[in-house]
Amino acid sequence: MAVWVSALLALMIGGRALAAPLADERVASPAVEVTRVGLGYGSAYLVRGDAGVVLVDAGLRGSAGRILRTARRAGIEPEDIDLIVATHVHKDHAGGVAEVARRTGAQVAVQADGEALFAQGLGAPVIPQTPWGHLVALVGRNHRLPAVQATVVVEEQLDLAPWGISGLVLATPGHTACSQSLVVPGQFAVVGDLVVGPRGGAPNLQQLPDQVVPSIRAVLEHEPAELWLGHGGRVPADRVSRWVRGP
């Protein structure tokens, strides 16, 4: 698939109102330091704890150089990246994981539901729920991505204490069955495509539609101030909780 088609696909997943591509951004929080890697069509996130660096998502195939350059500018050398968390096995999030893992020696964490798909280089199913979702499904028929044998298979939750991060990786199925989010309670949650668009709406693609809202609620239970999206920027958790919890 041509790069522009992939970028268009990712943009559509992010929502038609997605603003201009986001720049890299370094954020200091009391708990951890986070650097967002702006990939144009989406974002990856470098989360630095007291005992290691976790990369959340790695963009399309070919994104490793971009990610590692941004990491260097943030004072993170390739060998400092210990763990790559793929929020889900779609090629615009997990396509670059194999190369980043090869260049850093990092472990790769995937939900148990996604392990076999990832090992075969197959993307998770693309199931549209909106007109935009149907267009995305049409454009993105080719689901293949570089295969990765995950070294950390997450059963529901993974405690990030070994990396010096007071947080966890949490199963958040809905967009795909294998979706997961990195949550630092009271601070932020990196949610992949569980929530999309600049206003923090429901995903256009939902493999498990019944699981979307319960998964968002599970994230919100950890009281993050913001949700950080795979496509789009930072959305206040209050805005998302209003439509999830209702009046």
What does the alpha-carbon distance between residue 247 and residue 242 come to, in Å, rounded to a whole number? 7
CB 14 within 8 A of CB 8: no
**For the window 147-186, what string marks contact with Zn ion as x by the rule CB under 5 A?**
----------------------------------------
What does the alpha-carbon distance between residue 221 and residue 211 come to, in Å, rounded to a whole number? 15
Residue nearest to Zn ion (CB): 90
Q: Residues 48 to 107: which contact Zn ion by CB under 5 A?
A: 90
Q: Does 115 participate in binding Zn ion (rule CB under 5 A)? A: no
Q: Please select the residue that binds Zn ion; options are 99, 115, 193, 226, rule is CB under 5 A.
A: 193
Query: Where on the phi/psi map is residue 174: left (φ > 0), alpha (ψ -120 to 50), or beta?
Result: left
Give the shortest CB-183-to-Zn ion separation in angstroms: 18
Give the shortest CB-13-to-Zn ion separation in angstroms: 6
Across 15-33, b (16+ Cβ under 10 Å) vs e yields: beebeeebebbeeeeebbb
User: Is the Cβ of residue 76 or residue 136 nearer to Zn ion in the bound state?
Assistant: 136
CB 43 within 8 A of CB 19: no
What does the alpha-carbon distance between residue 124 and residue 116 come to, in Å, rounded to a whole number? 10
**Options 15-23, 45-53, 128-136, 187-195: segment touching Zn ion (CB under 5 A):** 187-195
User: Is the Cβ of residue 49 or residue 230 nearer to Zn ion in the bound state?
Assistant: 230
Task: Give the residues lining the site for Zn ion (CB under 5 A).
Answer: 90, 193
